[in-house]
Structure 1
Amino acid sequence: MADSVLSSTKKTKGSTSSQQQQHQSVLIDLNEITRIPTNKRSNRRQKKTKKTPFSSSAVGLDITAPNPKTKAKESKRYCCSIIRFTFILTILIFSVRTYLLLVVPSFSTMRKNADYNTALNGIGIRKKDEDTLGTKFDLNIGKVDHWCLNGDDDSCSCLDPTEAVSRIERRPWFNAHESNKNLIKEAVMSEYLDAMNDFDNDGVDVVFLGDSIIEEWNGRWLGREMEHLKYVKVVFEQMFQKKNGGKVEGLALGIAGDVAPNLLWRIQNGEMPDNLNPSVWWILIGTNDFGTHHCSGEIVFMGIQRIVEEIMHRKPDANTKIVINSILPRTFESDGKLVNGTVLSSPDLWPRIDAVNHELKHFCKEHDQLEFFDAGYIFRGEAGNKQVERTDGYILPERMMDHVHPTALGHKLWGLAIIKKLTEILKLEDEGNEDDDKDMR
Structure 2
Amino acid sequence: MLIVILAAALIQPSPAFVLSGDAQDRAFEDMSMLARAGKLLTVAVSDAASAIGATDRRSGASEKRPLIISDKKVAKKAHGHGGIPSWFKGAADVNAHPATVLEGNRRMLRRQKQHHHSVEDEWLKVHRRYVEEMEAAESAAGRGWDVLFYGDSIMEEWRWDPPPDVPPQLQHQWGSFLGSAWGPFSDVKKVWAEFFATKPYRSLPLGIAGDKVEQLLWRLQNGELPATKHPKVVTVMIGTNDLVGNCTLTSAAETAAGIVEINSLLHAELPTTHILNLAVLPKGEVWPNRCSEAILAVNSELEEYSRANPSFAHYADFGKGFLSDEPVGGRYEVKEALMPDSLHPSAVGMRIIASQLEPLIASLVRQPIGDAAADADWATSR
Normalising by structure 2, we get a TM-score of 0.59
Say if 2:58 is the partner of 1:157.
no
Note if contact 1:158-1:293 (Cα within 8 Å) is conserved in structure 2: no
The change in CA–CA distance for 1:222 and 1:194 in structure 2 (over 3 A counts) is: closer
Say if 2:169 is the partner of 1:216.
no
Out of 359, 363, 369, the residue aligned to residue 420 of structure 1 is 359
1:233 matched residue in structure 2? 189
The change in CA–CA distance for 1:290 and 1:322 in structure 2 (over 3 A counts) is: same
Say if 2:313 is the partner of 1:357.
no
Equivalent pairs, count: 250
Note if contact 1:158-1:294 (Cα within 8 Å) is conserved in structure 2: no
Name the one with the larger helix percent.
1
* Structure 1 letter corresponding to 2:230: N
Say if 2:133 is the partner of 1:180.
no
Within 5 A, what are the aligned runs for 1:189-200? 192-193=140-141
How far residue 424 of structure 1 moved from its aligned partner, in angstroms, is 2.1
1:187, 1:230 → 2: CA distance?
26
Residues 260-308 of structure 1, C-alpha deviation per residue, up to 9 Å, x if partnerless? 0110000011101303411011100000000269462111111111111
1:325 matched residue in structure 2? 278
How far residue 178 of structure 1 moved from its aligned partner, in angstroms, is 1.6
1:276, 1:227 → 2: CA distance?
34
2:207, 2:142 → 1: CA distance?
26
Within 5 A, what are the aligned runs for 1:92-103? none
The change in CA–CA distance for 1:214 and 1:156 in structure 2 (over 3 A counts) is: same
Out of 252, 257, 274, the residue aligned to residue 302 of structure 1 is 257
How far residue 255 of structure 1 moved from its aligned partner, in angstroms, is 0.7
Within 5 A, what are the aligned runs for 1:27-426? 155-161=62-68, 163=70, 170-188=120-138, 192-193=140-141, 203-218=144-159, 219-241=175-197, 245-291=198-244, 294=247, 296-315=251-270, 317=271, 319-331=272-284, 336-340=285-289, 348-367=290-309, 368-384=311-327, 393-426=332-365
- Identity of counterpart residues, as a percentage? 28
* Structure 2 letter corresponding to 1:378: G
The change in CA–CA distance for 1:422 and 1:359 in structure 2 (over 3 A counts) is: same
Structure showing greater radius of gyration is: 1
1:226, 1:375 → 2: CA distance?
25
Please give the root-mean-square deviation of Cα atoms over the aligned residues, in Å.
Answer: 2.9
Provide structure 1 residue ranges, at least 5 long, that are not aligned to the other structure: 1-148, 196-202, 341-347, 429-441
1:237, 1:339 → 2: CA distance?
33
* Structure 2 letter corresponding to 1:355: A
2:176, 2:135 → 1: CA distance?
18
The change in CA–CA distance for 1:393 and 1:163 in structure 2 (over 3 A counts) is: farther
Note if contact 2:322-2:338 (Cα within 8 Å) is conserved in structure 1: yes
Provide structure 2 residue ranges, at least 5 long, that are not aligned to the other structure: 1-55, 72-84, 90-119, 160-174, 368-382
1:249, 1:293 → 2: CA distance?
40
SS of residue matched to 1:291: coil
1:51 matched residue in structure 2? none
Note if contact 2:337-2:348 (Cα within 8 Å) is conserved in structure 1: yes
2:86, 2:238 → 1: CA distance?
15
Note if contact 1:162-1:303 (Cα within 8 Å) is conserved in structure 2: no
